[in-house]
Structure 1
Amino acid sequence: MPAEFLPDHLLSTSQTPVRGVVFDMDGLLLDSESLAMDALVAAGRDLGEDVPLSFCRRMIGVPADGCRALVRDTYGDSFPLERFFSLQEEHLRVFVDTGRLVLKTGVLPLLDLLDERHIPRAIATSSSRYRTDHHLKLVGLFDRFDAIVTRDDVSRGKPDAEPYLTAASRIGVAPEECLALEDSRSGAQAALNAGIRVIVIPDLIAPSEEIRAQALAIVKDLTVARGYIERHTA
């Protein structure tokens, strides 16, 4: 990976060696956020409700309990909340199982590099255990991670630090020696709250100014993250 793929400040400053990597899943490893958004809109349509895409995007990177609170606060207590999310799961499963779920750019070369350098890696996702395992198995990634932490495995979801701290602990690497890879604001904040440096690869929503100020870099795809790991592994 040529050095010019890395932002200048990552070339000119010393960095703690990367001894472990923690990945988000949806929108980072898998091109799944757009499918999830389409499924939410379809679920609203099934119920005769106008649930616009702009509203659905507010749920990106937010754990299920947070999404439920957002919908309840917006549409009121009479909204059929559980049916809405059940229908979303049904639509999403159809989208996924009919071949619409694909990997994001750079995923396999990055995992190959981690294999070559014997760097442990984990997933910290806001998705459920069922959805996570199903999606990872479908795209052939399930066995390529040393630990997988889902929303079902922690008491507090992103942006709380717990998912990232749990993932780092399960691969046996101190937070300060990990690198987090995230696409969402709440996910990036979770990594930062855990004391883990983060590179943000935005998917459907742009990072906030606060995240821009605190992240190592905001980059277009995982190819750049691969360059950083090549340069900063022990």
Structure 2
Amino acid sequence: MHDAHPIEAVIFDMDGLLLDSERLAMEALVAAGDELGYEMPESFCQAMIGVPADRCRAMVVETYGADFPLERYFAAQEVHLRAMVDNGRLSTKAGVGELLDLLDNHRLPRAIATSSSRYRTDHHLALAGIDGRFQAIITRDDVSRGKPHADPYLAAADKLGVAPASCLALEDSYNGIRAARAANIPVIMIPDLLPPTDEMRDTALKVVDTLHDVVEWLTPRLTVRSA
């Protein structure tokens, strides 16, 4: 696939891919439910991973009914998550620094395409100390349709000025994988909380354990590119 299209840019998902934040988000969803007197099983909260906010809201209403205090619930989740993050519980995933250094060395542009809001994205990237390492950041506030639609990835490629087929996407969620492929961007899956399924293995270019594995896969391809 990459013989015809050398890799000219990399587009990253954020939560669960660059940042070890999905566990915190899930814990905050459970805590917000407890605060409002609703039991929110982890399995239900996990089902919302990588899902656009409007669909998450619909899932909650479908499960807990139209009387569920939706706005209060997601506001409480934001407060719980912010407290966890501000108390030092947010960290980058293994291999992030190594991969960004590799891209720096080869002068390869990179972007983020995330389902998080601009506010949360900017705050989390700054706390993680990697906010200045991307040429473009596309959040759910910047597109009309989030993942699994192609819009976030197409917007990121457009901002970088690179054809989608010449980009490489890195994702951990099912909807993220679907969004990248809908944009005609080859994608590698690095699973976080969600295990790879047959669909994901068929859709993704590769499934690897960590970003260290991406560095190993990418290094010879970039060396050939810059030779």
Q: TM-score normalized by structure 2?
A: 0.96
Partner of residue 52, structure 1:
41
**Residue 215 of structure 1 pairs with residue 186 of structure 2:** no
SS at match of 1:205: coil
CA distance in 2, matches of 1:90, 1:177: 39
**Residue 126 of structure 1 pairs with residue 150 of structure 2:** no
Partner of residue 135, structure 1:
124
CA distance in 2, matches of 1:207, 1:73: 26
Partner of residue 175, structure 2:
186
Partner of residue 91, structure 1:
80
CA distance in 1, matches of 2:195, 2:59: 20
- Could you give the per-residue CA deviations for residues 161-206 of structure 1, whole angstroms, max 9, x where no partner exists? 0000000110111011000000000001100100000000000011
Amino acid at match of 2:110: R
1:1-234 pair list within 5 angstroms: 14=3, 16-233=5-222, 234=225
Amino acid at match of 1:49: Y
Deviation, structure 1 residue 14: 4.3
CA distance in 1, matches of 2:215, 2:87: 30
CA distance in 2, matches of 1:217, 1:56: 27
Contact 1:16 1:232 in 2 (8 A): no
- Could you give the per-residue CA deviations for residues 19-38 of structure 1, whole angstroms, max 9, x where no partner exists? 00000000000000000000
CA distance in 2, matches of 1:173, 1:228: 21
Query: Which 5+ residue runs of structure 1 have no aligned equivalent?
Result: 1-9
Q: TM-score normalized by structure 1?
A: 0.93
CA distance in 2, matches of 1:112, 1:213: 30
Aligned pairs, number: 223
CA distance in 1, matches of 2:132, 2:101: 13
SS at match of 1:228: helix
SS at match of 1:84: helix
